[in-house]
Structure 1
Amino acid sequence: MDASHNPFSGWAQVGSESSFLRDNNAIASSTFGALPYVNSPPPPASDLVTFYITSYDPDILSSKVIGPNQHRYLHIVTDPNNPRYTVFQNAHGKSVALVEWQSRPLVEIRDVMSKIPARDWLRLTPDGRKSYLRLVNRARTMRIQGARYMWTPQGTYINMYSTDPAPVFLARLSRGHGTIMLDLTNQAIQLGLLDVCLIAGVVMQCGKNID
């Protein structure tokens, strides 16, 4: 499969250790192996709120985010005449986040995070086996307003956990046909992590090197 058409190919950006998911959600490589649940397994799907990153035009950097009841939540815009910038706009057309694509991409989230290199915001762990979560593969840490979270491939998902004081499942990314799904717990939404998780998902899965 052409990596440029595989949204999950951008996960690791570390050569042979990159994670790939096929259209049928199967792991294309056994590099990562099986991962145990951290602390407790995710709640049933019925207890999660789902958002869809879809309507690629032509890719995830020009797409829409659809929430519950088919309401459009975000519009992701990359002007083909000025592809250096990707803007995230809410349903009222207000910009809520910006990604500046350069040799070291920058991310800014309005009222949440000032401009920061993407690789510092979503830092790849050097060795997952030595990480806080004691994983058997590499993960990405994410810091938001002093709190630390961890994204890690687990089965056919990329799961996000809080890390302080103990790991708690908060969200997960998965892939469908022509869409990426973000499932969040009510706790994640109450913590104000919805926009953060959507933007992180797009940055990690757009296929561009952020490291």
Structure 2
Amino acid sequence: MLTNDFDIRVYSSTEQLSQNTVMRLLEAVVASVPPHDAIALRKMPERVETLANPLWPLTNLSSEASTHAISLARPMEAIEQSIRSIRNIKKHGRALQQMEGYRFFVAHIEAERHAILEVMLRQKQRRFEETMVPGFDVHPEKQRFFEEVTEHLARHNALHLSALAIGETILATVWSVVRNGHNVRKWQMEQVFTRKSADIAPAICTENRRPHVFRSWIWR
């Protein structure tokens, strides 16, 4: 199975493509790829920010993708009511905060970014193995991407990198690209805190983020 992600449009943003033109373009792409049984176009939004997705008229099925994003432009009571299992989230959050050495921090220097990134990549590889999908061992170029682009983005104030930690042990990290002051895409490595056993187990979530949208931490 071949998959692709993080695509960008390669035509003029002002150009309006007809459905017939898009179909012919898609047929040319399909004819150029290696032999295959089926091609699935998935997780395609109707719009990307202000730009229309030209492939949208060709779709015939609802997307299975979903997010946990919520708008902050409303009272806190309404925000909390929209969050599933808010009581459990608060409960586990309080339990975590009561642990000695609990802290949340945003990376501001290279050493902090290196420490957070190291944990994120290690836990991400572990998640790949648990879900039995090709990881950094199969695609080392993906790990190099994070290693190389992290400092580049940080130098241009285009990166949000933060973590939850107990003492010097990092439990969870957030890696986000920042555009116009807003996180636009995030790879979030989470640790799931179990109050009963106080065990820490790995989990992962990926999400698209739009301006004025917030993604809460998940605690189970």
TM-score band by shorter chain is under 0.3
Structure with higher Rg: it is: 2
Higher helix share: 2
RCO (CA 8 Å, sep 6+): is it higher in 1 or 2? Answer: 1
Compute the TM-score of the two structures, normalised by the length of structure 1: 0.28
